[in-house]
Structure 1
Amino acid sequence: MDGTYQLAQLNVGRLVASTDDPRVAEFMGALDRINGMGKRMPGFVWMMEGSGEPGTGNTGNAIGGDPRFVANLTVWEDVESLENFVWNTVHRQFYERRAEWFEVMGDMHFVMWWVPQGHRPTLGEALERLDHLKAQGDSDHAFGWSYLEEARLWRTRGCAPVAAE
């Protein structure tokens, strides 16, 4: 995509316990560090902020009134920048351990789409894109990693889906 567009992404998860529960304490304790690192990465543009309280990340943006549903909504200059953060930093270690802190989601919970440079998507807009992806599959309106030819790292460094034990 040319420089007039940037890549937005939404990732939704449901914690296995409330944010103050010891079962998710390690995840909650790392949020500020991981989010701060992401904000310093080349190609990072913007992140939806939660309450702003230390150690809460975006957990203040509950979905459907359920405080255990958390969302990460960011904008990046390009696919390569997002991939670099996801797969080439400590973020990957937390991604690989996601089953420790998050319920296995039965349906899609990740979506990307192109936004005009300078646009900051709302959570409502992002959830609409996710619903569109669920209903229609990959399209220019909403897509996953496999839809992007320029996405390379997820093919080699991505993790296998988490299976129920």
Structure 2
Amino acid sequence: MQLAELNLGRLSQPIDHPDIAEFADNLDRINGLADRMPGFVWRFQDDSGNATSVQAFDDPLIIANMSVWETAADLERFVWGTIHRKFYERRDEWFGKMTEHHFVMWWVEEGHRPDLAEAKAKLAHLQAHGPSDEAFGWADLRSAKLWEKSRCA
């Protein structure tokens, strides 16, 4: 099995607003880093390689990141052990607070590429039922340790 993840964020301004420029200007850099990481399998994107141009929700300020990794350790290493972490630590500069679950992980068969409908269903399942084998967060992965130092408040 491989690990899929969906992470949503609600931008404080449209992606082309000057207040979001530093975040937007580094998307290709961070996505390129992910693409080259050991254990990276796939990420959601449009034909140009951009995921932020896909309006996945009614609210146009909500952007989605979805990817698949060989192992939880591979994803954890990318999120917390690379320059990605520096951008994560600055998320309050570009994103508003989310009041509901906005991050979910789930196991997928090797070769499976989830679509947004599947990811939204996993997020809804986590919201409605809490962590389970079907949908979970970092705290539910016993092997994951790096997130504990940098997790969301």
> Under a length normalisation based on structure 2, what TM-score does the superposition of the two structures give?
0.96
- Structure 1 position 72, deviation (Å): 0.2
Q: Which secondary structure does the structure 2 equivalent of 1:10 belong to?
A: strand
Q: Residue 39 of structure 2 corresponds to which residue in structure 1?
A: 43
Matched, 1:69 2:54: no
Matched, 1:88 2:84: no
Q: Deviations over 1:28-72 (max 9, x none)?
A: 00000000000100000000013516xxx3111213233211000
Q: Which secondary structure does the structure 2 equivalent of 1:99 belong to?
A: helix
CA distance in structure 2 between the aligned counterparts of 1:120 and 1:59, rounded to whole angstroms: 18
| Matched positions, count | 153
Task: Answer 1 or 2: higher relative contact order, Cα 8 Å, separation at least 6.
Answer: 2
> Under a length normalisation based on structure 1, what TM-score does the superposition of the two structures give?
0.89
Matched, 1:18 2:10: no
CA RMSD of aligned residues (A): 1.2
Paired residue type of 1:43: G
Q: Which secondary structure does the structure 2 equivalent of 1:35 belong to?
A: helix
CA distance in structure 1 between the aligned counterparts of 2:101 and 2:38, rounded to whole angstroms: 28
Matched, 1:124 2:117: yes
For structure 2, the residue ranges without an aligned partner over 5 or more in a row are none
Alpha-carbon contact 1:109-1:130 (below 8 Å) kept:
yes
